Amino acid sequence: MAKKEAKKLEYFTDWKYAPSPEATDHIRLQKQYDLFINGKFVKPNSGKYFDTINPATEEKISSIAEANDKDVDSAVKAARGAYDKIWSKMPAKERAKYIYRIARLIQERARELSVIETLDGGKSIRESRDIDVPLAANHFFYYAGWADKLEYAFPNRNPKSLGVAGQVIPWNFPLLMAAWKIAPALATGNTVVLKPAETTSLTALKLAEIIQESGLPDGVVNIITGHGPVGASMVNHKDINKIAFTGSTGVGKWIQKAIAGTDKKLTLELGGKAANIIFEDAPINQAVEGIINGIFFNQGHVCCAGSRLFVQESVAEEVIKKLKDRLETLIVGDPLDKNTDIGAINSKMQLNKINEYLKIGINDGAEMYQSSCSIPKKGFFVRPTLFLNTSQSHRISQEEIFGPVLAIQTFRTIEEVIEKANNIPYGLSAGVWTDKGSRIFNLTSKLRAGVVWANTYNKFDPTSPFGGYKESGFGREGGLHGLMPYLKF
Amino acid sequence: MAYDFRQSPVVDQVGIEERVARFNTRSIKKGSKVQALKLALNMIDLTTLEGKDTEGKVKQMCYKAMHPHLALPDLPTTAAVCVYPTMVKTAKEALKGSKVKVASVSTAFPSGNSTMQIKLLDTKLALDNGADEIDMVISRGEFLKGNYNFVFDEIAAIKDLTHKYNARLKVIFETGEISTLDNVRRASDIAIYAGADFIKTSTGKIGVAATMPVTLVMLDAIKDYYFKTGIQVGMKPAGGISTAKGALQYLVMLHETLGNAWLDNKWFRFGASSLANDLILQLEKEAKGVYYSKDYISVD
């Protein structure tokens, strides 16, 4: 057996996977979508509509209504009316039935919802189909169970609903974030005004159709669409009791200032820059998979993405070689193709932001490494990217890029890595990879992050609370903890 | 090359299973499917390892190996046939003029419970009869006792003999018996460093045969060795792979772990008997657009 010089492996040259696109003929989409207020779709007061496009093709999919202050006001009024007259008086067991019915309807229409999520947001169909949509249904199932058990969840504390919840959600997991927000609000007896992000309104509007079909009393859930000012108008509305926001830290800070001095309750789930820490005794091949899932899941548009990799120096060379090798087997392209691993960047704006960070990284002296894959000419795409030789003071190591870009640092000792992992304004999540159980427990108690995954990454479950420390926000969503922000005691 | 097998890399079972699940979501269609079905057929070690084996049975199987399906004449042959040492002569004779290799199990297959002397004689018998490939079993008892050097030496001795005859050596771990993925990884490292040309999961003689997680751990070991040395080692999952769909999932895993260089029967084999006909059924379906009766496909 002659020793070969080239130790680089080649993929997808002799055996290419034929395109395997998910069918789109089964989905029902309207040319134009109105606002969902008081159980009906109504025209926006502004009379204005904006285009929602497919980020993989840059083609228009549909027109979405642009709400204004008046629409926000009528949505809040509808929610208040429904709260006062129906929802707050309804026996909890009955409330649960509606929530359960919504969950079932999401399951029934899972295929359609997955395809629309992928068309509108650019994420791969594999993820919409296997993660977003099933998890969204599971959140409704899970919270349906809590509706009539609040007394048991918080014994002797007499939990009571708040009233009208205003919820503003991001574009990275449109339907799933709607479910995260709506399900616990309904289970605890609140009514809802929800605003999806302007680039990804469609699945929230499909959810509005499902809510109509479920027979949920009019006004209990209202879904209004539009740009930033609509969210601002909700935040400033006098008759909203609770604001729940998931999105950027900048907007989160603005919201907190805006509601200062009011009695509105607030939950913020903001940005992150998670440390994913690989120790020398880790199962390296599985850790490499975990790094890949940590940063490239949903094109890196994940607030808890493992975007800072810390590798112990004794295994750094091996881990980086394997990461580079693994990048070559990531399939980047048409999000509707069932084999696509990394789909399209959600919007032109986000694409520009990511490309800007790539420049910053290079200018700051980090070494960029990208997959050799080709990317489609049309649409918004970025090659999966690693930055080597980064240091803690590089901007790409400090700021949330929200794209498929991984900043890699090495470390020598456990004290060093704990210090560096915590040395960031964010504190949403972290990952620890080691074969040693005691080290896992040591780190989970020292890392200032809301979620710490051990020997895995980016795992979500409705029964498990999710939320951050520091500038990553406060309040928890999911699990029993997720009920508390919607209750007063 | 010094290597402490107690220090073999650890394996996380949950991570392995997750990775396998990911491979299984790949959707292989149209031309890429036909290509893979043919490749899988060309990677089969068509196997009969029964107490009731006869020359007649072996001859029939050899004919099937050379002519998998008359209705599709451009199909490849299988890679090899796999038989007991006493059947090697018959198989060699039946396969004369074809490229199909003859593999023989040895070393007191399937248990491996015998002396080194007898294992060497068993192997020599197969080689003298003309075997192109030797499928040996390791001593699982010694392995589980932690006698890794014993297992290493045993493999190295059989390798020396096999290579003397210019034959290739496959080393069977019987992964169902050594049980954990950490053990599978350790056994893989031992066999690879002892000079195995192929590592192989199972004998097919116990309940638990090849699984995708076990195979992935072995592929990872092969890859790590390749990255270190540039030397390729082959992989053979055996037993329990009977459907075309399953075979394609293995090929996806192989392809995305080791790449193009391994997509060849020199480096990957399926130890199987009924798989061939399911591959043929699917190839007919791709050619004709409909499934037809299995009665049109010969059973040998």
- Kindly state the tokens that stand for A326: 């693994």
A1 vs B10, B27, B231: nearest CB: B231
Determine the distance in angstroms separating the CA of B252 from the nearest CA of chain A, rounded to an integer: 10
List of chain A residues whose C-beta atoms are within 8 Å of the C-beta of residue B33: 18
Q: Which residues does chain A have within 8 Å of residue B169's beta carbon, measured at their own beta carbons? A: none
**Model pLDDT for residues A397-434, shown as the tens digit of each residue:** 999 999 999 999 999 999 999 999 999 999 999 999 99
Give the residue from B27, B188, B257 with the most A CB atoms within 10 Å of its CB, the best one to mutate: B27
The pair of structure tokens assigned to A320 is 């980086």
Indicate the residue of A13, A284, A287 with minimum beta-carbon distance to B260: A13
Q: What is the pLDDT of residue B7?
A: 87
In the numeric block, the tokens 């919007």 are attached to: A347
How far apart are the C-alpha atoms of B233 and B225, rounded to whole Å?
8
Q: Do B27 and A3 touch (CB under 8 A)?
A: no
Banded model confidence at residue A3, pLDDT cuts 50, 70, 90: very low
Residue A6 pLDDT level (bands cut at 50, 70, 90): low
How many angstroms separate the CA atoms of A256 and A473, rounded?
10
Contact residues on chain A for B218, CB-CB shorter than 8 A: none
How buried is residue B1: exposed, middle or buried, by Cβ count under 10 Å (0-12/13-18/19+)? Answer: exposed
Question: What does the pLDDT look like over B39-76, one tens digit per residue?
Answer: 999 999 999 999 999 999 999 999 999 999 989 989 99
Cα separation, B131 vs B128, whole angstroms: 7
DSSP A130: I
Predicted confidence (pLDDT) at residue A478 exceeds the cutoff of 50 = yes
Average pLDDT over residues B118-132: 98
Q: Does A459 touch chain B (CB under 8 A)?
A: no
- What average pLDDT score do residues B172-176 get? 98
Q: Verify whether the Cβ–Cβ distance B261 to A10 is below 8 Å.
A: yes
Nearest chain A CA: its distance from B26 CA (Å): 5
- Establish if A289 touches chain B: CB-CB under 8 angstroms: yes
Helix (H, G, I), strand (E, B) or coil at A141: helix
Q: Give the mean model confidence (pLDDT) for residues A442-453.
A: 96
DSSP A337: B
Instruction: Tell me how crowded residue A168 is: count the other CB atoms within 10 A of its CB.
Output: 24
pLDDT attached to residue A216? 98
Catalytic annotation present for A304:
no
Range 397-456 of A in CB contact (< 8 A) with B: 435, 455-456
In angstroms, the CA A128 to CA A137 distance is 12
Enter the CATH code of domain A275-454. 3.40.309.10
- Are A445 and A419 in contact by the 8 Å Cβ rule? The answer is no
Contacts of B12 in chain A (CB under 8 A): 283, 286, 455
The set of long-range contacts for A125-133, using a CB threshold of 8 Å and a minimum separation of 24, is A125/A22, A125/A335, A125/A336, A125/A337, A125/A338, A125/A340, A126/A338, A126/A339, A126/A340, A126/A341, A126/B25, A127/A297, A127/A298, A127/A343, A129/A22, A130/B25, A131/A176, A131/A460, A132/A173, A132/A175, A132/A176, A133/A106, A133/A175, A133/A176
pLDDT tens-digit map of B128-143: 999 999 999 999 999 9
Examine the pLDDT at A161 and tell me if it is beyond 80.
yes
- For residue A134, the distance in angstroms to the closest alpha carbon of chain B comes to 16
Of B28, B229, B258, the CB nearest to A9: B258
Q: What is the Cα–Cα distance from B68 to B277, expressed in whole angstroms?
A: 8
CB contact under 8 A, B30 and A339: no
Residue B163: C-alpha distances to residues A191, A344, B195 (Å): 77, 52, 10
Q: What is the pLDDT of residues B94-108, one digit of tens each?
A: 999 999 999 999 999
Please check the confidence at residue A2 and state whether its pLDDT lies above 60: no
Phi, psi of A155 (to 5 degrees): -60, 140
The whole-angstrom distance between A17's CA and the closest CA on chain B is 5
Q: What is the pLDDT of residue B1?
A: 53
- Are residues B231 and A3, on separate chains, in Cβ contact within 8 Å? yes
Confidence of residue B4 (pLDDT cuts 50, 70, 90): confident
Strands (E), A157-228: 160-161, 164-168, 191-195, 221-223
Which amino acid is present at B89?
Answer: K
B133 CB burial (10 A radius; 0-12, 13-18, 19+): buried
In the residue annotation, B59 being an active-site residue is answered as no
Q: Of these residues, B135, B189, B197, B278, which one is catalytic? A: B135
* Residues of chain A neighbouring B20 (CB-CB closer than 8 A): none
Name the DSSP class of A299.
Answer: G
pLDDT, tens digit, 9 for 90 and up, residues A286-340: 999 999 999 999 999 999 999 999 999 999 999 999 999 999 999 999 999 999 9
CB-based contact B231 A284, cutoff 8 Å: no
**Burial (CB count <10 Å: 0-12, 13-18, 19+), residue A7:** middle
Locate the chain A residue with the closest alpha carbon to B29: A18
Residues of B in contact with A290 (CB under 8 A): 15
Q: Residue A1 pLDDT > 60, yes or no?
A: no
Nearest to A7 among B19, B230, B260 (CB): B230
DSSP result, A423-467: -SS--SEEEEE-S-HHHHHHHHHHS--SEEEES--S---TTS-B-
Q: What's the pLDDT band for A219 if we cut at 50, 70, 90?
A: very high
Task: Give the sheet arrangement for strand A221-223, strand by strand.
Answer: A40-42, A35-37, A221-223, A191-195, A164-168, A242-246, A265-269, A473-474
What rounded mean pLDDT belongs to chain A?
Answer: 96
Residue of B12, B168, B250 to mutate, testing the A interface (most A Cβ within 10 Å of its Cβ): B12
Active site (annotated) includes residue B135: yes
Using an 8 Å CB-CB cutoff, list chain B residues near A14.
260, 263
Q: Which residues contact A111 (CB under 8 A, 6 or more apart)?
A: A26, A129
How large is the average pLDDT for residues A337-355?
A: 98
Please tell me which residue in A303, A373, A400, A471 is annotated as part of the active site: A303
DSSP letters, A63-124, are EEE---HHHHHHHHHHHHHHIIIIITTS-HHHHHHHHHHHHHHHHHTHHHHHHHHHHHH---
- The whole-angstrom distance between A33's CA and the closest CA on chain B is 34
pLDDT tens for each residue of A225-252: 999 999 999 999 999 999 999 999 999 9
Q: Where are the domains of chain A?
A: 32-270+470-488, 275-454
CATH number 3.30.70.260 is the correct assignment for the domain at A32-270+470-488:
no
Q: Residues 90 to 129 of A: which have CB under 8 A from any B CB?
A: 126
In the predicted model, what is the mean pLDDT of residues A98-105? 98
Question: B11 and A286 in contact by Cβ < 8 A?
Answer: yes
- Distance of residue A126 Cα from the nearest chain B Cα, in angstroms: 8
> Which entry of A22, A66, A127, A269 is annotated as an active-site residue?
A269
pLDDT score of A483 more than 80: yes
pLDDT above 90 as % of chain A: 98
The residues, any chain, with a CB within 8 Å of residue B170's CB and separated by 6 or more, are: B103, B133, B134, B135, B136, B196, B197, B198, B199, B200, B234, B236, B269
Closest-CA residue of A relative to B30 is A18
Mean pLDDT value across residues B216-237: 97
pLDDT band for position B300 (50/70/90)?
A: confident
CA distance A214 to chain B (A): 32
pLDDT above 70: residue A132: yes
For chain B, give every domain's residue range: 5-296
Give the CA count within 13 Å in the CB-facing half-sphere of A413.
3
What is the pLDDT averaged over residues B204-230? 96
Please tell me whether residue A164 adopts helix, strand or coil conformation: strand
Please state which of the four CATH numbers 3.40.50.2300, 1.10.1520.10, 3.90.950.20, 3.20.20.70 is assigned to the domain occupying B5-296.
3.20.20.70
Q: How far is the CA of A331 from the CAs of A16, A302, A376, B194, in angstroms?
A: 11, 19, 12, 36
For residue A262, pLDDT over 80 is answered with yes
